[in-house]
Every structure is written in C-alpha cells, then in structure tokens.
Amino acid sequence: MDLVVAYLTAELAESGASVKKMPANNEGYDILVRDANGKPQRYIEVKTTTGAWGLRGVGLTQPEFKLAQKEGGRYTLYVVEQLDQPDARIWWIHNPAGRVDYFHYDYGWQTAADGQARAGRPSSGRAIADVANAGQ
C-alpha cells in the first residue's frame, strides 16, 4: 500500500489533492484521495502479489465490489506485482465493477454448491428429461 500512496502523492503533488492511507481492515477501500476542497475524489483498493500477476489473479471482497459498483469511476483497483522486488510494478483499473462482463465459477465452487446429483436417473426412477418436461 505504501508504494501506491507514494506513487499517488507524487502524481497528485501539484493538484492540491490529499492521499490518505486508511486504517487496516477498512471496509471497501485502502486509500482515499480528496480533492483540494476536501471532497472525496477516488476510492482505491490495493492488492499485491509477491510474484507476477498471474492466472490466479486478485479478487475483491463483497464490500469492496459493492463500493466499486456504487462509486463507479471514482473507484480504482491497484495491483502491485512483485511486491518485494526492486522492479515492482503498479497496475490500475478504473471502475473495475463497471467493467465486469460475466462471473466465472471455477471448480473451487464445488465446496459451496447447494447440492449435487449424478447424471442419469433420479431416485424416482424417471429419466431427467422426463422430470424436466413434467411441468410442460
């Protein structure tokens, strides 16, 4: 988070904006940028990786995603990759919730599934196609 605060402070130095690091576990965002008049301008969530930003990716918690939806273009996700390396890189995505086209549920969702069944015949003995068409 300190890398992003330093970057933003330098980027916004002449604008009169202030950059404030929020307390640990602040709900929804990590950094607040206020304009020269003290009005909230940007809500920033920071995610980090010790290695390259790879296939595993980074995620937003439900409170972070809800705030991103609410604030739209005022919400930005910053990803710092290779955090402990001298060549750490900072990426940012403005309005991340507004840019989501779909959600993907990988195999890890099996543990959160509300149920499961084997393909074939349900316990009633009727074929699945028969059950699906029963209400028609």
SS3 content of the chain, % helix, strand, coil (to 5): 30, 20, 50
- Residue 125 clears pLDDT 70, i.e. is over it: no
The set of long-range contacts for 49-56, using a CB threshold of 8 Å and a minimum separation of 24, is: 49/79, 49/80, 49/81, 49/82, 49/83, 50/82, 50/83, 50/84, 51/81, 51/82, 52/81, 52/82, 53/79, 53/81, 53/91
pLDDT tier for residue 5 given thresholds of 50, 70 and 90: very high
pLDDT digit string, tens, across residues 10-53: 999 999 999 999 999 899 999 999 999 999 999 999 999 999 99
